[in-house]
Amino acid sequence: MHTYDNPVISGFHPDPSVCRVGDDYYLVCSSFEYVPGLPLFHSRDLVHWEHIGNVLDRPGQLPLPLPGAKASGGLYAPTIRHHDGRYWVVNTNIDGGGNFVVRAERPEGPWSDPVWIDLPGIDPDLAWEEDGTCWCAFSRPEGGINMARIDPVEGEVLEGPFATWSGSGLKYPEAPHLYRIGDWWYLLIAEGGTERGHSVSIARARSPRGPWEGAPANPLLSHSGTARSIQNTGHADLVQAPDGSWWMVLLGVRPRGFTPDVHVLGRETFLTPVEWREDGWPVVTPVPESHPAPGGAWHPVPALTARDDFDTTALAPHWISPFARPEDSWSLTERPGWLVLSATGTTLDRPGYTFVGRRQQHHDCRVTAVIDPDTGRGGLSVRLDEAHHYEVEVGDGEACVIARIGPLHQTVARRPVGPGPLTLTIEVRTSDLVPASPELTDGGTTGPDTLAFRVGDPGAPDTRPLAELDGRYLSTEVACGFTGRVVGMYAIEGAVAFDWFEYVPVLTPDA
């Protein structure tokens, strides 16, 4: 029997929604301020997921930069469904436009332009009755979970919205998903906030109009107050496998470090089994670190390429940029075999800069790139937002390590370097941590990890770190927000070329 390890999609992949079509599963996640928007995954076994594209992958689908976009703004909580031969995604752009629907004949796209729906709130969901009636459930801050009957093709609201069921009394009832299972309609929601109190609850009714009855065992799932290594469990979606078994995808985090613990990878996608009792209520297994896999064939997918040599004509779907990626800010053809980034801003401290990165997906990892800064200034950066980022930067014959932590912006190390090309390396490790100040924990360590920054010549990278920094300042608990670390390449002056970029997980006994 096969077993799987959680998370099934690691790194900043929150708010998962899943649907099954035949033997295939498709899953989307929130992307917030990053573009392309709404990463789309495919699986044949619920365990191995391949990133096959992004639902919002062209400027015409949304105005870019996202209007009014800010860190942890943008695109919240999509739902993916398959109905009447089409794939549907409903989503919220909280910074401009509100709720919208896109559709496609194939999950790989192309996806349509958004059809906007005049409904207040966030976290929309779609469900259809047998006669084709389409319902949209959504979260309304002042009114809990609401329901409306809509035309998803035209975006017209046909009935409602009206209040339904708003949970067991915990704060922030949100993330509704509506299902017809047997003779009942079920309404699955998240409540308790997306922090340590996050949980999953459910109600049922004979009609989408209610009245709704909450499950006597609510919340169905919560790791709040437990010693489990996976915390903040919530924002879930249900799916039935071909063998009849039921499963739940949901978000969670893996906090580390000294109390109160911090998480740095963002909210990730986890998988846990669901059983149905004779009285018609589901029972959800606490999210395991490992568990027997769903029945059926085992379908490993190609691993995400660790190294990108930039020898194609388009960027792979896992490459993302904050707020926008103007066409004139990057090129794979200007210097064949290199990614050339042209500066659109002079600092990473405010939106408008050129950055192409990927999510950090492992607690221990190493990122290396070869850079030619001959006509500009840039480097490698680990980003949470404009006020929380570390980078190793080269330009004007000098390499430096820079830390931005809230109001503090400081160059922590400098070194003269040759004209390039140069090798830049960021190593993230959870062992041999940088000691905390003597006033804290008797000089012990407090952070979840250490980030080491190196500069060297290609083929012979310098083994001495230029600087080592405490990773706790690039955690959600310090920076706040809904995202996780993204590590990537940037330019803030002129044009900077990258020959290749490599991301390698580093296996350690406690990783």
> Which active-site residues does the annotation give?
15, 174
Q: What share of the chain is helix, strand, coil (3-state, %, to 5)?
A: 5, 50, 45
Q: How far apart are CA 231 and CA 233, in angstroms?
A: 5
Helices (H), 339-468: none
Q: Which helix (H) or strand (E) holds 478?
A: helix 476-479
Counting Cα atoms < 13 Å in the Cβ hemisphere of 292 gives: 5
Q: For residue 282, give the nearest of 390, 187, 383, 144 by alpha carbon.
A: 187
Backbone φ and ψ of 134, nearest 5° = -110, 130
Separation between Cα atoms, residue 29 and residue 321, nearest integer Å = 16
- Compute how many other C-beta atoms are within 10 angstroms of the C-beta atom of residue 98: 18
Within its chain, how far is the Cα of 105 from the centroid? Answer: 25
Using the structure block, give the residue that is written with the tokens 């980003």.
383
Helix (H/G/I), strand (E/B), else coil: 61: helix
Contact criterion met (CB below 8 Å) for 323 and 72: no
Bridge partner list, 393: 379, 400
| Residue 96 DSSP label | T
Distance CA 177, CA 182 (A): 16
Contact 100, 115 (CB under 8 A): yes
Using the Cα atoms of residue 17, residue 20, residue 21 and residue 24 in order, give the sign of their dihedral.
positive
The number of residues in the chain equals 511
Sign of CA dihedral 438, 441, 446, 450: positive
With CA atoms as reference, report the closest residue to 292 among 273, 274, 270. 273
Q: How many Å apart are CA 447 and CA 208, to the nearest integer?
A: 47
Q: Are 115 and 102 in contact (CB under 8 A)?
A: yes
Rg of the chain taking only CA atoms, in angstroms? 23
Structure token digits, residue 279: 């009285």
| 36, 308, 330, 35: CA torsion to nearest 10 | 10
Q: Find, among 417, 421, 419, 435, the residue nearest to 472 by Cα.
A: 435
